Amino acid sequence: MEKNAKIYIAGHRGMVGSAILRKLQQEGFTNFALRTSKELDLRNQEAVQQFFEEERPEYVFLAAAKVGGIVANNTYRADFLYENLMIQNNVIHSAHVTDVKKLMFLGSSCIYPKMAPQPLKEEYLLTSELEPTNEPYAIAKIAGIKMCESYRRQYGRNFISVMPTNLYGPNDNYDLQNSHVLPALIRKFHEAKVNGSPTVEVWGTGSPLREFLYADDLADACYFLMQQYDGEEFVNVGTGEDLSIKALAELVKETVGFEGELVWNTEKPDGTPRKLMDVSKLHGLGWKHRVDLPEGIRKVYEKFVEHEEIRVL
Protein backbone atom coordinates (compact mmCIF):
# COMPACT_ATOMS: atom_id res chain seq x y z
CA MET A 1 0.00 0.00 0.00
CA GLU A 2 1.29 3.46 -0.92
CA LYS A 3 1.50 5.87 2.03
CA ASN A 4 -0.78 8.38 0.27
CA ALA A 5 -3.35 5.76 -0.85
CA LYS A 6 -6.95 6.32 0.24
CA ILE A 7 -7.98 3.62 2.72
CA TYR A 8 -11.47 2.75 3.93
CA ILE A 9 -11.81 0.87 7.23
CA ALA A 10 -15.37 -0.38 7.63
CA GLY A 11 -16.02 -0.51 11.37
CA HIS A 12 -13.21 1.86 12.39
CA ARG A 13 -14.76 2.53 15.80
CA GLY A 14 -14.97 -1.11 16.82
CA MET A 15 -12.27 -3.07 18.59
CA VAL A 16 -10.76 -4.50 15.39
CA GLY A 17 -11.26 -1.52 13.10
CA SER A 18 -9.84 0.95 15.63
CA ALA A 19 -6.78 -1.27 16.10
CA ILE A 20 -6.23 -1.36 12.32
CA LEU A 21 -6.60 2.43 12.15
CA ARG A 22 -4.04 2.88 14.96
CA LYS A 23 -1.60 0.55 13.21
CA LEU A 24 -1.91 2.34 9.86
CA GLN A 25 -1.47 5.74 11.50
CA GLN A 26 1.65 4.46 13.27
CA GLU A 27 2.99 3.34 9.88
CA GLY A 28 2.48 6.83 8.41
CA PHE A 29 -0.80 6.49 6.53
CA THR A 30 -2.98 9.63 6.65
CA ASN A 31 -5.53 9.40 3.81
CA PHE A 32 -8.57 7.69 5.31
CA ALA A 33 -12.19 7.58 4.18
CA LEU A 34 -14.04 6.90 7.44
CA ARG A 35 -17.73 6.88 8.34
CA THR A 36 -19.48 6.02 11.59
CA SER A 37 -22.50 3.70 11.49
CA LYS A 38 -24.73 6.78 11.93
CA GLU A 39 -23.11 8.47 8.94
CA LEU A 40 -23.22 5.36 6.73
CA ASP A 41 -25.55 2.39 7.24
CA LEU A 42 -23.63 -0.49 5.66
CA ARG A 43 -26.87 -2.50 5.47
CA ASN A 44 -28.18 0.05 2.95
CA GLN A 45 -27.06 -0.94 -0.56
CA GLU A 46 -27.73 2.44 -2.16
CA ALA A 47 -25.90 4.35 0.58
CA VAL A 48 -22.85 2.08 0.35
CA GLN A 49 -22.73 2.34 -3.44
CA GLN A 50 -22.91 6.13 -3.23
CA PHE A 51 -20.11 6.23 -0.64
CA PHE A 52 -17.80 4.13 -2.81
CA GLU A 53 -18.61 6.19 -5.93
CA GLU A 54 -17.85 9.45 -4.12
CA GLU A 55 -14.80 8.42 -2.07
CA ARG A 56 -13.18 5.87 -4.41
CA PRO A 57 -11.01 4.15 -1.76
CA GLU A 58 -8.06 2.16 -3.11
CA TYR A 59 -7.79 -0.26 -0.18
CA VAL A 60 -10.54 -1.60 2.04
CA PHE A 61 -10.45 -3.36 5.42
CA LEU A 62 -13.88 -4.89 6.05
CA ALA A 63 -13.98 -5.09 9.86
CA ALA A 64 -17.61 -4.04 10.34
CA ALA A 65 -20.00 -6.72 11.61
CA LYS A 66 -22.79 -7.37 14.07
CA VAL A 67 -20.99 -9.35 16.76
CA GLY A 68 -21.71 -10.80 20.19
CA GLY A 69 -21.13 -13.67 22.57
CA ILE A 70 -22.78 -17.06 22.76
CA VAL A 71 -26.11 -15.80 24.18
CA ALA A 72 -26.44 -12.92 21.71
CA ASN A 73 -25.59 -15.19 18.76
CA ASN A 74 -28.23 -17.71 19.78
CA THR A 75 -30.93 -15.14 20.68
CA TYR A 76 -30.73 -12.76 17.71
CA ARG A 77 -30.22 -15.39 15.03
CA ALA A 78 -32.10 -13.60 12.24
CA ASP A 79 -30.40 -10.27 12.98
CA PHE A 80 -26.92 -11.83 12.94
CA LEU A 81 -27.57 -13.56 9.61
CA TYR A 82 -29.34 -10.68 7.84
CA GLU A 83 -27.22 -7.77 9.00
CA ASN A 84 -23.86 -9.44 8.42
CA LEU A 85 -24.87 -10.65 4.97
CA MET A 86 -26.05 -7.17 4.02
CA ILE A 87 -22.93 -5.43 5.33
CA GLN A 88 -20.45 -7.67 3.54
CA ASN A 89 -22.48 -8.04 0.34
CA ASN A 90 -22.76 -4.28 -0.04
CA VAL A 91 -19.12 -3.49 0.76
CA ILE A 92 -17.56 -6.31 -1.29
CA HIS A 93 -19.75 -5.68 -4.34
CA SER A 94 -19.23 -1.90 -4.24
CA ALA A 95 -15.47 -2.46 -3.90
CA HIS A 96 -15.66 -4.53 -7.10
CA VAL A 97 -17.78 -1.98 -8.98
CA THR A 98 -15.41 0.89 -8.12
CA ASP A 99 -12.20 -1.03 -8.90
CA VAL A 100 -10.75 -1.15 -5.38
CA LYS A 101 -7.13 -2.37 -5.63
CA LYS A 102 -7.33 -4.72 -2.65
CA LEU A 103 -9.87 -5.67 -0.01
CA MET A 104 -9.43 -7.63 3.20
CA PHE A 105 -12.45 -9.39 4.70
CA LEU A 106 -12.26 -10.27 8.40
CA GLY A 107 -14.13 -13.38 9.46
CA SER A 108 -14.14 -15.43 12.63
CA SER A 109 -12.94 -18.80 13.93
CA CYS A 110 -16.60 -19.80 14.39
CA ILE A 111 -16.74 -20.63 10.66
CA TYR A 112 -15.21 -24.03 11.43
CA PRO A 113 -17.26 -27.18 12.10
CA LYS A 114 -18.11 -27.82 15.75
CA MET A 115 -16.23 -31.12 15.92
CA ALA A 116 -13.42 -30.35 13.46
CA PRO A 117 -9.99 -31.82 14.31
CA GLN A 118 -7.74 -29.58 16.43
CA PRO A 119 -5.91 -27.38 15.73
CA LEU A 120 -8.16 -25.88 13.02
CA LYS A 121 -6.55 -25.89 9.60
CA GLU A 122 -7.87 -23.66 6.81
CA GLU A 123 -8.88 -26.69 4.75
CA TYR A 124 -11.39 -27.88 7.41
CA LEU A 125 -13.93 -25.29 6.27
CA LEU A 126 -17.30 -26.85 5.27
CA THR A 127 -16.27 -30.41 6.16
CA SER A 128 -19.07 -31.01 8.72
CA GLU A 129 -21.78 -29.31 10.82
CA LEU A 130 -21.35 -25.95 12.53
CA GLU A 131 -21.85 -25.15 16.22
CA PRO A 132 -25.68 -24.63 16.45
CA THR A 133 -25.59 -21.62 18.80
CA ASN A 134 -23.70 -19.37 16.36
CA GLU A 135 -24.61 -21.00 13.05
CA PRO A 136 -26.26 -17.87 11.51
CA TYR A 137 -23.20 -15.72 12.19
CA ALA A 138 -20.87 -18.45 10.92
CA ILE A 139 -22.90 -18.89 7.72
CA ALA A 140 -22.72 -15.15 7.06
CA LYS A 141 -18.95 -15.16 7.51
CA ILE A 142 -18.54 -18.21 5.27
CA ALA A 143 -20.57 -16.37 2.62
CA GLY A 144 -18.12 -13.46 2.92
CA ILE A 145 -15.15 -15.75 2.34
CA LYS A 146 -16.87 -17.26 -0.70
CA MET A 147 -17.74 -13.81 -2.06
CA CYS A 148 -14.08 -12.75 -1.96
CA GLU A 149 -13.09 -16.05 -3.53
CA SER A 150 -15.76 -15.77 -6.24
CA TYR A 151 -15.07 -12.13 -7.18
CA ARG A 152 -11.42 -13.13 -7.46
CA ARG A 153 -12.19 -16.09 -9.76
CA GLN A 154 -14.79 -14.35 -11.93
CA TYR A 155 -13.41 -10.81 -12.04
CA GLY A 156 -9.76 -11.16 -11.02
CA ARG A 157 -10.22 -9.07 -7.89
CA ASN A 158 -7.50 -9.06 -5.23
CA PHE A 159 -9.89 -9.70 -2.34
CA ILE A 160 -8.39 -11.67 0.56
CA SER A 161 -9.86 -13.07 3.80
CA VAL A 162 -8.42 -13.54 7.28
CA MET A 163 -9.95 -15.56 10.13
CA PRO A 164 -9.01 -14.22 13.57
CA THR A 165 -9.34 -16.28 16.71
CA ASN A 166 -11.10 -14.86 19.82
CA LEU A 167 -10.06 -11.25 20.23
CA TYR A 168 -9.73 -8.82 23.11
CA GLY A 169 -8.31 -5.33 23.50
CA PRO A 170 -9.12 -1.60 23.63
CA ASN A 171 -12.70 -0.66 22.65
CA ASP A 172 -14.04 -4.10 23.55
CA ASN A 173 -17.70 -4.63 24.48
CA TYR A 174 -18.28 -5.09 28.23
CA ASP A 175 -22.07 -5.54 28.14
CA LEU A 176 -22.76 -8.70 30.15
CA GLN A 177 -25.57 -9.89 27.86
CA ASN A 178 -23.81 -9.38 24.53
CA SER A 179 -20.07 -9.51 25.22
CA HIS A 180 -17.54 -12.28 24.70
CA VAL A 181 -16.13 -14.28 27.59
CA LEU A 182 -12.95 -12.34 28.39
CA PRO A 183 -14.43 -8.81 28.66
CA ALA A 184 -17.40 -10.27 30.55
CA LEU A 185 -15.04 -11.84 33.09
CA ILE A 186 -13.06 -8.60 33.49
CA ARG A 187 -16.23 -6.64 34.22
CA LYS A 188 -17.66 -9.30 36.58
CA PHE A 189 -14.47 -9.59 38.63
CA HIS A 190 -13.94 -5.82 38.74
CA GLU A 191 -17.49 -5.10 39.93
CA ALA A 192 -17.28 -7.92 42.50
CA LYS A 193 -13.99 -6.48 43.80
CA VAL A 194 -15.41 -2.93 44.03
CA ASN A 195 -18.65 -4.10 45.67
CA GLY A 196 -16.95 -6.54 48.04
CA SER A 197 -18.92 -9.51 46.68
CA PRO A 198 -17.86 -12.91 48.06
CA THR A 199 -18.47 -14.79 44.78
CA VAL A 200 -18.53 -14.37 41.01
CA GLU A 201 -20.74 -16.49 38.76
CA VAL A 202 -19.05 -17.86 35.64
CA TRP A 203 -21.03 -19.48 32.84
CA GLY A 204 -20.65 -23.13 31.83
CA THR A 205 -18.39 -25.83 33.23
CA GLY A 206 -15.04 -24.11 32.64
CA SER A 207 -13.81 -27.00 30.52
CA PRO A 208 -13.91 -25.55 26.96
CA LEU A 209 -10.53 -24.51 25.58
CA ARG A 210 -10.14 -21.11 23.94
CA GLU A 211 -7.42 -19.10 22.23
CA PHE A 212 -7.13 -15.31 22.60
CA LEU A 213 -5.34 -12.72 20.46
CA TYR A 214 -4.72 -9.10 21.43
CA ALA A 215 -6.47 -6.76 18.97
CA ASP A 216 -3.32 -4.77 18.20
CA ASP A 217 -1.56 -8.01 17.27
CA LEU A 218 -4.41 -8.76 14.86
CA ALA A 219 -4.05 -5.29 13.36
CA ASP A 220 -0.33 -5.91 12.90
CA ALA A 221 -1.11 -9.21 11.15
CA CYS A 222 -3.69 -7.52 8.92
CA TYR A 223 -1.19 -4.86 7.89
CA PHE A 224 1.44 -7.53 7.23
CA LEU A 225 -0.95 -9.63 5.10
CA MET A 226 -2.29 -6.63 3.19
CA GLN A 227 1.30 -5.90 2.18
CA GLN A 228 2.58 -9.45 1.67
CA TYR A 229 -0.29 -11.84 0.82
CA ASP A 230 -2.37 -12.10 -2.35
CA GLY A 231 -3.59 -15.70 -2.15
CA GLU A 232 -7.12 -17.00 -2.70
CA GLU A 233 -7.21 -19.15 0.43
CA PHE A 234 -8.11 -17.38 3.66
CA VAL A 235 -5.50 -17.21 6.45
CA ASN A 236 -5.99 -18.08 10.13
CA VAL A 237 -4.74 -15.41 12.54
CA GLY A 238 -4.08 -16.45 16.13
CA THR A 239 -1.45 -17.41 18.66
CA GLY A 240 -1.58 -21.19 18.25
CA GLU A 241 -1.95 -21.48 22.06
CA ASP A 242 -5.10 -22.05 24.14
CA LEU A 243 -6.27 -22.48 27.73
CA SER A 244 -9.42 -23.60 29.53
CA ILE A 245 -12.14 -21.11 30.48
CA LYS A 246 -11.43 -22.12 34.08
CA ALA A 247 -7.76 -21.17 33.71
CA LEU A 248 -8.78 -17.94 31.96
CA ALA A 249 -11.15 -17.06 34.82
CA GLU A 250 -8.35 -17.66 37.36
CA LEU A 251 -5.97 -15.47 35.33
CA VAL A 252 -8.50 -12.61 35.13
CA LYS A 253 -9.32 -13.01 38.84
CA GLU A 254 -5.62 -12.69 39.70
CA THR A 255 -5.10 -9.69 37.37
CA VAL A 256 -8.11 -7.82 38.76
CA GLY A 257 -7.25 -8.70 42.35
CA PHE A 258 -10.58 -10.29 43.29
CA GLU A 259 -10.18 -12.49 46.35
CA GLY A 260 -13.57 -14.27 46.48
CA GLU A 261 -14.73 -17.57 45.04
CA LEU A 262 -15.85 -18.69 41.57
CA VAL A 263 -19.31 -20.24 41.16
CA TRP A 264 -19.87 -22.17 37.93
CA ASN A 265 -23.38 -21.97 36.43
CA THR A 266 -23.49 -25.25 34.53
CA GLU A 267 -26.99 -24.50 33.19
CA LYS A 268 -25.39 -22.01 30.79
CA PRO A 269 -24.04 -23.43 27.50
CA ASP A 270 -20.36 -24.20 26.97
CA GLY A 271 -20.37 -23.89 23.19
CA THR A 272 -17.71 -25.61 21.11
CA PRO A 273 -15.38 -27.83 23.24
CA ARG A 274 -12.23 -26.42 21.65
CA LYS A 275 -11.32 -23.79 19.03
CA LEU A 276 -7.56 -23.64 18.50
CA MET A 277 -6.30 -22.17 15.25
CA ASP A 278 -3.57 -23.80 13.24
CA VAL A 279 -1.40 -20.78 12.43
CA SER A 280 1.40 -22.62 10.63
CA LYS A 281 0.46 -20.91 7.34
CA LEU A 282 0.73 -17.45 8.92
CA HIS A 283 3.99 -18.35 10.67
CA GLY A 284 5.28 -19.65 7.35
CA LEU A 285 4.56 -16.27 5.77
CA GLY A 286 6.72 -14.65 8.47
CA TRP A 287 4.32 -13.27 11.11
CA LYS A 288 3.92 -14.21 14.80
CA HIS A 289 2.00 -12.60 17.68
CA ARG A 290 3.88 -10.46 20.22
CA VAL A 291 1.52 -9.89 23.16
CA ASP A 292 1.04 -12.93 25.41
CA LEU A 293 -2.24 -13.34 27.30
CA PRO A 294 -1.18 -12.27 30.84
CA GLU A 295 0.39 -9.07 29.47
CA GLY A 296 -2.62 -8.40 27.24
CA ILE A 297 -5.13 -8.82 30.06
CA ARG A 298 -3.09 -6.43 32.22
CA LYS A 299 -3.18 -3.81 29.45
CA VAL A 300 -6.91 -4.24 28.90
CA TYR A 301 -7.75 -4.09 32.60
CA GLU A 302 -5.75 -0.87 33.04
CA LYS A 303 -7.78 0.73 30.22
CA PHE A 304 -11.03 -0.63 31.66
CA VAL A 305 -10.30 0.90 35.07
CA GLU A 306 -9.43 4.26 33.45
CA HIS A 307 -12.78 4.30 31.65
CA GLU A 308 -14.61 3.26 34.82
CA GLU A 309 -13.07 6.23 36.62
CA ILE A 310 -14.09 8.57 33.78
CA ARG A 311 -17.69 7.30 33.96
CA VAL A 312 -17.80 7.76 37.75
CA LEU A 313 -16.47 11.33 37.49
Per-residue pLDDT of the chain (313 residues; tens, 9 = 90+): 999 999 999 999 999 999 999 999 999 999 999 999 999 999 999 999 999 999 999 999 999 998 777 777 778 899 999 999 999 999 999 999 999 999 999 999 889 998 899 999 999 999 999 988 889 999 999 999 999 999 999 999 999 999 999 999 988 888 877 678 899 999 999 999 999 999 999 989 999 999 999 999 999 999 999 999 999 999 999 999 999 999 999 999 999 999 999 999 999 878 778 889 999 999 999 999 999 999 999 999 999 998 765 454 3
Class of domain 7-171+211-240+276-291: alpha beta
To the question of whether residue 206 is assigned a binding role by annotation, the answer is: no
Is 14 labelled a binding residue? yes
Task: Give 301: exposed, middle or buried? Use CB within 10 Å, 0-12, 13-18, 19+.
Answer: middle
Instruction: Please say whether the dihedral angle defined by the alpha carbons of residues 81, 82, 85 and 91, taken in this order, is positive or negative.
Output: negative
3-state helix, strand and coil shares in percent for the chain, rounded to the nearest 5: 45, 15, 40
Distance CA(19)–CA(60), nearest Å, equals 15
Question: pTM to 2 decimals?
Answer: 0.92
Catalytically active residues are 137
**CA distances (Å), 250 to each of 114, 193, 194, 241, 258, in order?**
26, 14, 18, 17, 10
Q: Which residues contact 311 (CB under 8 A, 6 or more apart)?
A: none
Report pLDDT for 309: 56
**Domain regions of the chain by residue span:** 7-171+211-240+276-291
What pLDDT is stored for residue 75 in this prediction?
Answer: 84
Q: What pLDDT does 269 receive?
A: 79
CA distance 6 to 174: 32
107 is annotated as contributing to ligand binding: yes
To the question of whether residue 270 is assigned a binding role by annotation, the answer is: yes
Distance CA(204)–CA(238), nearest Å, equals: 24
Is 255 part of any known ligand binding site?
Answer: no
